[in-house]
Structure 1
């Protein structure tokens, strides 16, 4: 069959439905056609592939070995097509703007500003993702990206958004000498942050080490000790007075976050409006 033309898409849809449902009649009901039409489609498909695809089983049918092999490919292909159609449907919704952002920045800086964003743009329904593997601007999966490094992607406008730093924070009711330190495992092993911690916080006993900065924030809010946090992650807690910055300890710059969207006019005016609003929030 390697040199044969591809079967009709209609035949493959009928085949997949009959295989999934185990019945020509149930496949016909799902596809809103007659049972004889399904039977005819599958007969033509079997003739084209040169193999029987089904055998009778009671009142239904079951796949042959050849049928199972074909279903594996056809099922995956139809799933991809359905996924693509779903993405197109989402793309056509003028209220949806997809924003990708690092999880700590979403937690500490972006999420507290979503209410303001929705008030300014009542038609907006933001899709907020922390999947940084999908950060590339393509006007389908991602409208706006906030990243720790410039994307340097052709056709993309990107500008600095926020500066971040590592700061020591503690709950306001923690008086006197700090009991100990809370930190991230990746910070301790970092070539840059590790020496900074050992130099300036080496006198503090390590009380807990976390692998997720959001867990570190939660521990600080519970008063478990001094936490070394991204200022952006701690932003809401510092502004609300749930945490206070220990100015006696030095901070460490963590670099600039960048915000990006497609260059020129994006697919929706709302994308540009949200982009401009986020830039304005970073200045106030």
Structure 2
């Protein structure tokens, strides 16, 4: 047996047992490339070493994973099923290894919040953050309803309610409102018409009812019989994109709209009253600050929120 061949006995599969990553990597390469020799080249091993890995894995699962076809190989049904799981697992592992490299930066701060808040409110302010805190490296992660911060490595959470968890500090942050908006060309057309004629020019871009506060949903429902629906979305960012494309009138949270309204890509419609929305909160660990950068970002978010009220 050559040096690069396996010397361990994998045994058979059993409750809680997993084959070694080495065996799975050899199997995945052979399955992907359709050849033991090409897999060996890709893994910088001998052909006999990869063949032995596959044999060990087949012994572990108790059934053949490949069958010979001419000079090549193809997966059995069991092999196809295993390939799907192994590919997903290896992809997840590779992504995880890539991500942990950034954790060596002392300025890294993991911030979790809804995508539309991070995109519509925070993204446009990141240059201001860098100007006052060039050492902070925000790692932005989207979660529409963050609530398990104790189970993952999170520094700051943006949510519609306080986490109210032991060891965490909650601070009231921004209160949003919901606004009726349209793309500039459509808004200009509507401004030239009486309100009664608006339904002739546009339909409504809707969010699912569960995504809207009661007041905004009621205001939208009151308009539906006259306007009709252009489309229904389950996320504010999708509805925002539709509004930016001129697909109709949308009622969206101010935190999603701020940058688009500021740079003129959307216009708020006159005569369509704003509706009250959620009180947003910032949360962070009280006594386990990972770094000074975390405290600085928390304070900066609070100050920016106050400035944006």
Distance in 2 between the 1:24 and 1:71 partners?
A: 15
The CA deviation at 1:263 is 3.0
Residues in 1 aligned to 2:153 and 2:95: alpha-carbon distance in whole angstroms: 12
Q: Which residue number in structure 2 is paired with residue 277 of structure 1?
A: 300
| SS of match in other structure, 2:162 | coil
**Distance (Å, rounded) in 2 between the aligned partners of 1:164 and 1:238:** 15
1:207–1:266 CA distance, 2 compared to 1 (3 A): same
Residue 185 of structure 1 deviates from its aligned partner by: 3.5
Aligned with residue 122 of structure 1, among 134, 153, 168:
134
Q: Distance in 2 between matches of 1:94 and 1:131?
A: 24
Gaps of 5+ in 2: 1-11
Q: Secondary structure at the match of 1:255?
A: strand
Paired with 1:89 and 1:154, the residues of 2 have a C-alpha distance of 30
The answer to whether the Cα contact below 8 Å between 2:108 and 2:137 also exists between their aligned partners in 1 is yes
Aligned to 2:40: 28
Normalised by the size of structure 2, how large is the TM-score? 0.66
User: How far does residue 155 in structure 1 lie from its aligned partner after superposition?
Assistant: 3.6
Aligned-pair CA distance for 1:36: 2.2
| Residue 151 (str. 1) matches residue 151 (str. 2) | no
Deviation at 1:184, TM superposition (A): 6.0
Task: Find the aligned partners of 1:210 and 1:95 in 2 and give their Cα distance.
Answer: 42
Cα offset, 1:258, TM superposition: 0.5
Q: Secondary structure at the match of 2:276?
A: strand
The 1:127/1:48 distance shift into structure 2, 3 A limit, reads closer
Tell me: CA distance 1:94–1:24, structure 2 relative to 1, closer, same or farther (3 Å).
Answer: farther
Distance 2:152 2:217 in 1: 42
Counterpart selection for 1:193 from 202, 215, 226: 215
Once the two structures are superposed, what CA deviation does each residue of 1:53-86 show, in whole Å capped at 9, x if it has no partner?
3333344322334433443443343334334334
Change (3 A) 1:268 1:184: farther
Q: For 1:106 and 1:29, locate their aligned partners in 2 and report how far apart those are by CA, in whole Å.
A: 44
Counterparts in 2 of 1:101-180, with a 5 A limit? Answer: 101-133=113-145, 136-137=148-149, 142-166=154-178, 174=191, 180=198
Q: Give the aligned length.
A: 279
Q: CA offset at residue 116 of structure 1?
A: 0.3
Q: 1:19 to 1:232 in 2, by over 3 A?
A: closer
The 1-side partners of 2:143 and 2:117 are apart by 13
| Superposition CA RMSD, Å | 4.4
Is the contact made by 1:188 and 1:197 (CA closer than 8 Å) also made in structure 2? no
- From 243, 261, 264, the counterpart of 2:284: 261
TM-superposed CA distance for 1:160, in Å, is 0.7
TM-score (norm 1): 0.70
Structure 1: give runs of 5+ residues left out of the alignment: none
Task: After superposition, give the CA deviation of every residue in 1:91-144 in whole Å (9 maximum; x if it has no partner).
Answer: 445454343333443454323322101212224443444441566435856432
> 2 CA distance for matches of 1:3 and 1:187?
46
Q: SS state of the match for residue 56, structure 1?
A: strand
Indicate how the Cα distance of structure 1 residues 125 and 52 shifts in structure 2: closer, same or farther if over 3 A, else same: same
